[in-house]
């Protein structure tokens, strides 16, 4: 099986090559390209059996059609999310889509807590102040998480890990999900979304991006939140309507906002740093607020998670070759 690996970073190549060497994945070879997968680059897949792509790839109808023309039968997503994949077109052409549903939920949950803590205690500001010899505490006051309420939206693998972390901080943990996670019932109280919004001191988003969750954080839901709440999003940017978030920040609704994901992520806003783009960028506007901390989709980025991503992706390829069904198959609906 020949796999074309798109959007290769050095750390991807290292972890996949190390995993290939350390384990037995017979017959699998990988070629790496720095190009990301989109309609302009899909034709590079000519002569390969499978492509490996990521959250940033544009795998809409046009890309899928070109992949089909080039004979691709397997799309290996080396991530959990697949909202950027046109599953209908994949199904129409018999292209199997597989993903890595849970490589290290703790990696993302720990980063979510890091964002909550850093924005609560203004660690980014403190870091810069001290480096400039300013040891004053002005602008750095936060609040204790101990005995406060954490509201977790989506209690799958990452949300559950976040619930456990919040419990470890001595927080009361409430959650909203369309399905309840039995393993959390001992210490998590499931409530309505409305109650979660109005009762939480820290809100963390851990549900996938779907039609039903698109812009779930908007001016109406923001208004229902407590004043001085901390909002963290490590899930997908479009769960939050950015213009409304900016309005909420202007209304002084938030003590802090920590974002690992943002709506403009896929438009390469920060790779193409032209002044004009930055001027109209909502992400750049968000960065102008002192209580907002943004990281660059790094929640998954730990040694453990990268190793697990490589091992599962390669096992997915082997399952495909063996014609085995897999819980990692992405199906419509
Ligand atoms: P998961 O499938 O295990 O859990 C998602 C949960 O969301 C499920 O319990 C589901 O019932 C729930 N959900 C679905 N619709 C909902 C709704 N309308 N309201 C509330 N809850 C709803 O997924 P996971 O592995 O925990 O990942 C969660 C998300 O984290 C992924 O979809 C992905 O977008 C994101 N993610 C981010 C990074 C990162 O690096 N920042 C890495 C991996 C995953």
Angle, vertex CA 98, rays to CA 298 and CA 207, nearest 5: 50
pLDDT-wise least confident of 113-117, 283-287, 304-308: 283-287
Among 297, 303, 304, 325, the one annotated catalytic: 297
**pLDDT, mean of residues 254-270:** 81
Q: Is pLDDT at 303 greater than 80 in this prediction?
A: yes
**pLDDT, mean of residues 267-287:** 67
Q: What's the 274 CA to ligand 1 centre distance in angstroms?
A: 33
Task: Please list every protein residue whose CB sits less than 6 Å from any atom of ligand 1.
Answer: 80-81, 102, 105, 108, 153-159, 176-179, 206-209, 212-213, 234-236, 260-261, 297, 299-300
Q: What is the predicted pLDDT for the residue at 282?
A: 86
Q: How confident is the model over 40-89, as pLDDT tens digits? A: 999 999 999 999 999 889 999 999 999 999 999 999 999 988 989 999 99
Q: Are 163 and 149 in contact (CB under 8 A)?
A: no
- 288 or 163: whose pLDDT is higher? 163
Radius of gyration of the chain (CA): 21
Backbone angles phi, psi at 106, to 5 degrees: -65, -35
Euclidean distance between CA atoms 259 and 204, whole angstroms: 10
Euclidean distance between CA atoms 326 and 139, whole angstroms: 51
Beta bridge partners of 152: 175, 204
Q: What's the 156 CA to ligand 1 centre distance in angstroms?
A: 6
| pLDDT grade for 277, boundaries at 50, 70 and 90 | low
Q: How confident is the model over 131-152, as pLDDT tens digits? A: 999 999 999 999 999 999 999 9
Q: What's the 207 CA to ligand 1 centre distance in angstroms?
A: 3
**pLDDT, mean of residues 229-244:** 97
Percent of the chain with pLDDT over 90: 87
Q: Is pLDDT at 272 greater than 60 in this prediction?
A: no
Indicate the average pLDDT of the chain.
Answer: 94
Q: How confident is the model over 82-99, as pLDDT tens digits? A: 989 999 999 999 999 999
The question of whether 297 is a catalytic residue gets the answer: yes
Q: Is pLDDT at 204 greater than 70 in this prediction?
A: yes
Q: How confident is the model over 173-193, as pLDDT tens digits? A: 999 999 999 999 999 999 999
Beta bridge partners of 2: 29
Euclidean distance between CA atoms 264 and 272, whole angstroms: 12
Q: Is pLDDT at 281 greater than 90 in this prediction?
A: no
């Amino acid at each position: 099986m020949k796999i074309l690996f798109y959007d290769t970073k050095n750390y991807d190549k290292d972890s996949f090559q190390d995993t290939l060497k350390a384990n037995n994945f017979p017959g699998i070879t990988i070629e790496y390209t720095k190009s990301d997968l989109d309609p302009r680059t899909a034709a590079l897949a000519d002569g390969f059996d499978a492509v490996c792509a990521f959250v940033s790839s544009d795998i809409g109808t046009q890309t899928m059609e070109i992949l089909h023309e080039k004979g691709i039968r397997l799309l290996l997503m080396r991530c959990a999310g697949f909202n950027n994949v046109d599953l209908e077109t994949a199904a129409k052409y018999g292209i199997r889509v597989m993903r890595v549903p849970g490589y290290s939920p703790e990696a993302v949950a720990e980063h979510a807590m890091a964002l909550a803590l850093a924005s609560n205690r203004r660690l980014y500001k403190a870091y810069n102040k001290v480096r400039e010899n300013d040891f004053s505490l002005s602008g750095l006051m936060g609040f204790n998480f101990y005995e406060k309420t954490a509201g977790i939206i989506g209690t799958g693998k990452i949300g559950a890990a976040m619930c456990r972390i919040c419990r470890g901080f001595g927080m009361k943990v409430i959650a909203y999900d369309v399905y309840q996670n039995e393993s959390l019932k001992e210490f998590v109280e499931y409530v309505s979304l409305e109650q979660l919004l109005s009762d939480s001191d820290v809100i963390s988003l851990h549900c996938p991006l779907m039609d039903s969750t698109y812009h779930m954080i908007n001016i109406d839901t923001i208004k229902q939140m407590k004043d001085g709440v901390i909002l963290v999003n490590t899930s997908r940017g479009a769960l939050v309507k950015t213009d409304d978030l900016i309005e909420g920040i202007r209304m002084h609704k938030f003590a802090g906002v920590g974002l690992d994901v943002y709506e403009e992520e896929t438009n390469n806003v920060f790779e193409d740093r032209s002044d004009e783009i930055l001027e109209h960028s909502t992400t750049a506007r968000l960065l102008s607020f002192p209580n907002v901390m943004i990281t660059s989709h790094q929640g998954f980025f730990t040694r453990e998670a990268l190793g697990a991503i490589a091992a599962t992706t390669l096992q997915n390829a082997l399952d495909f070759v063996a014609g085995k069904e897999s819980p990692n198959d992405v199906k419509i609906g």
